[in-house]
Amino acid sequence: MASNAFQPIQGMSDLDSPDVYLWQYVEKTAREVFERYNFGEVRTPILEKSKVFLKSLGDTTDIVQKEMYSFEDRGGRNLTIRPEGTAGTIRYLGGLGEDGLNARVYYMGPMFRCERPQAGRKRQFHQIGVEATGPANALLDVEVIAMQEHLLSELGLPGARIVLNSRGTAADRKPVADGLRAALRPFEAELCEECQRRIDQNVLRVIDCKNENCQKIVDQLPEMREFMCAESRAYLDEVIARLTDLGVNVQYDRKLVRGLDYYCHTVWEIQHDALGAQNALAGGGRYEVTIGNKNIPGVGFALGVERLITAMEAAGIKAEQFVPKAGVWLVSLGEAALNTNLKLIQELRKAGIKCGMELETKSMKAQMRKANRAGAHYCVILGDDELAKGMAVLKNMEEGAQSDVALTDLVNELKK
Ligand code: AMP
């Protein structure tokens, strides 16, 4: 058991080989898919002024109330390590003026939430997200959801389920909240303690409360969309119809609310059964984010990379498939060969060949053992005799066959 001194902070992980190769595959595929839809990458700072999140996420949300890593820096500034990617991205886009109001960007990187760590819930986790700014347009929501589904199918992940609902417009917010509140009042005493508070503070969160009894009550309530205006209901129908046209399967879920205050119209989640209790692979929605004096509309999603990897592994997609091929190992018999190999390995690497060697003189046996451990496909064996002739022995490690090759031909020979 490693001593505590070598452990990362609870809820955070080191990532190494071979797992990291599956991550790289996911990231590379995401970049390729997003570029096809004309989304470009942005990299915003991980640390932001706290107000970037306080104002945009809404101060009754779990993230803002309980989960942000916030602190005052040495200059007395209130800062937060980003718990999600939308607020910072919109802050950046807002600063671009007109261009930022009609942009398509994606990001990937670590997010930080001070939650109680458990399976599928970490304090440092990673998201791949996109944001498309622009006024409410059902077709843009459709394009973003279709792109997300495209990414999952490109990654070869089966079994992902897209569930979708509407939060209506800003103008619907009050009638929806009032309507739900009125419908809930007769049951108030039966709700869990937290939901009794939520009725007045944040009634939408009663809808997705995990408590079984609260759920039974919610089942008897009218659907949120019944309190929305006709336009909002038509918007939702349009999104579902156009996605169906594209062959993207979505399920309407009357209980999906999503935690953040900035959502309006379409909200969705992608769920996967391989994930257990924390079954959300990704969340998304249309929003109006307030930063400074601007209110910026857009639509976006964030996919949890750890959970995506868990689902992929459960589907039999293994990191080992993506480990780079092992390449060549140089074996040096004696000091002179070691020095020659040092030059040779540089040449091979510059020619694009992956290779390794021992950097001190060791026995042939020890060096071959290392070559095997590295999984080398070829060994280049160099001793005083070979050096004198300007030759090396090239050994095919899988077949065992070996041949003499002139040192001057070696790069070309190995490139073949
Ligand atoms: P959210 O911003 O909460 O909608 O999260 C979007 C996605 O990020 C979720 O669907 C998860 O896949 C992932 N995610 C959120 N919180 C965590 C966490 N604490 N640990 C691991 N993944 C998370």
Q: Is the CB of 300 under 6 A from ligand 1?
A: no
In which element (H, E) is residue 381 found? strand 378-382
Report the nearest atom of ligand 1 relative to the CA of 86. Answer: 2
**Ligand 1 centroid vs 175 CA: distance in angstroms?**
29
Q: What's the distance, CA 385 to chain centroid? A: 54
Choose which residue among 64, 111, 270 to substitute to test ligand 1 binding: the one with the highest number of ligand atoms within 8 A of its C-beta: 111
Q: Which of 365, 328, 332 is nearest to 347 (CA)?
A: 328
> Is the model's pTM score more than 0.85?
yes
**Ligand 1 centroid vs 318 CA: distance in angstroms?**
22
**Crossing angle of helices 138-154/19-36, nearest 10°?**
140
Choose which residue among 127, 128, 299, 301 to substitute to test ligand 1 binding: the one with the highest number of ligand atoms within 8 A of its C-beta: 127
d(C-alpha 128, C-alpha 106), whole Å: 7
d(C-alpha 244, C-alpha 248), whole Å: 5
**Ligand 1 centroid vs 6 CA: distance in angstroms?**
26
Choose which residue among 115, 122, 287 to substitute to test ligand 1 binding: the one with the highest number of ligand atoms within 8 A of its C-beta: 122
Across the beta sheet with 391-396, the strand order is: 355-357, 328-332, 378-382, 391-396, 402-406
Residue whose CA is at the smallest distance from ligand 1 atom 11: 304
In which element (H, E) is residue 364 found? helix 364-373
Q: Average model confidence (pLDDT) for the chain?
A: 94
**Crossing angle of helices 86-94/50-57, nearest 10°?**
100
At residue 242, φ and ψ (nearest 5 deg) are -70, -35
Q: What is the pLDDT of residue 1?
A: 54
Residue whose CA is at the smallest distance from ligand 1 atom 8: 304
Q: With bands split at pLDDT 50, 70 and 90, how would you rate the model's confidence at 4?
A: confident
Find the mean pLDDT for residues 104-122. 96
Residue whose CA is at the smallest distance from ligand 1 atom 3: 283
Q: With bands split at pLDDT 50, 70 and 90, how would you rate the model's confidence at 348?
A: very high
Q: Is the CB of 302 under 6 A from ligand 1?
A: yes
Choose which residue among 256, 307, 308, 310 to substitute to test ligand 1 binding: the one with the highest number of ligand atoms within 8 A of its C-beta: 307
d(C-alpha 319, C-alpha 309), whole Å: 9
DSSP letter string, 116-158: PPBTTB-SEEEEEEEEEESS--HHHHHHHHHHHHHHHHHTT--
Report the nearest atom of ligand 1 relative to the CA of 117. Answer: 19
Handedness of CA 101, 104, 110, 114 (dihedral sign): positive
Residue whose CA is at the smallest distance from ligand 1 atom 1: 283
What's the pLDDT tens digit per position in 27-70?
A: 999 999 999 999 999 999 999 999 999 887 877 778 887 899 99
**Ligand 1 centroid vs 78 CA: distance in angstroms?**
24
**Ligand 1 centroid vs 382 CA: distance in angstroms?**
53
Q: With bands split at pLDDT 50, 70 and 90, how would you rate the model's confidence at 293?
A: confident
Q: Is the CB of 306 under 6 A from ligand 1?
A: yes
Q: Is the CB of 283 under 6 A from ligand 1?
A: yes
Residue whose CA is at the smallest distance from ligand 1 atom 5: 283
Report the nearest atom of ligand 1 relative to the CA of 303. Answer: 7
d(C-alpha 218, C-alpha 394), whole Å: 73
**Ligand 1 centroid vs 265 CA: distance in angstroms?**
21
What's the pLDDT tens digit per position in 141-162?
A: 999 999 999 999 999 999 999 9
What's the pLDDT tens digit per position in 200-253?
A: 988 998 998 989 999 999 999 999 999 999 999 999 999 999 999 999 999 999
Report the nearest atom of ligand 1 relative to the CA of 284. Answer: 4
pLDDT at 267 over 80: yes
For the record, the structure tokens of 81 come out as 């390590």
